[in-house]
Structure 1
């Protein structure tokens, strides 16, 4: 019988921004900068972290203005991907947006991000549009897929 490592999701403060930037640099080809991450703290933002055995392994940034909430980023350290941490974090983001009386949770994902798109689809998101050439890549640009989740109130 193996013992499952302790996993918890909690709110992050700006002191975690360096760790968040490090995880983003491991997980994304063109991550948010530390300076940008630091701007994602304040009354319109909530950052959640997923900890495994006391170490931050991923994070999500939620931005909410009135009835619209946007998932700005969700990121799991590549060494810990595929273990359900992203799903756990996304479920907490959805719950937080609902609690904040958001009607819709919006996000953008790289067109090539099939694992991410599948995660969102499994959680009830629908594709709502595209943005041509939205993301930078090493050899040009890539489209963004817009997705949304209607939240019950």
Structure 2
């Protein structure tokens, strides 16, 4: 895929997810695991809620405020991780974090990341990496607490 096409795809997907975020809940359920993370650099705040049933992530949702990248990434994260096993979610999270840092990941992981794979372009803009990874770190924190 050419650079111009990749740039267009990135902009389209990010704007689509930011404008109409998937799994956004103004009032998060109180019966699951929750975590709130804040990015003091730019003021992004993400609240994530999920349930873990039989080792699988369910009812994954978020709310919060922040830049287009943080909100779009949170939306993509919910699409990617909801319904996954905790082990698969950890692998996808680590793959996403590596991708955002500019590290290579397998084609299999890229496919598993779905729309979120386009966020790998933030590696070119170090100040935006925290924006893109905030929601992913929130789920990682929940999973680490469950171990």
More strand by share: 1
TM (normalized to structure 2)?
Answer: 0.34
**Higher Rg of the two aligned structures:** 1
Determine which structure has greater relative contact order: mean sequence separation of CA pairs < 8 Å that are 6+ residues apart, divided by chain length. Answer: 2
TM (normalized to structure 1)?
Answer: 0.33
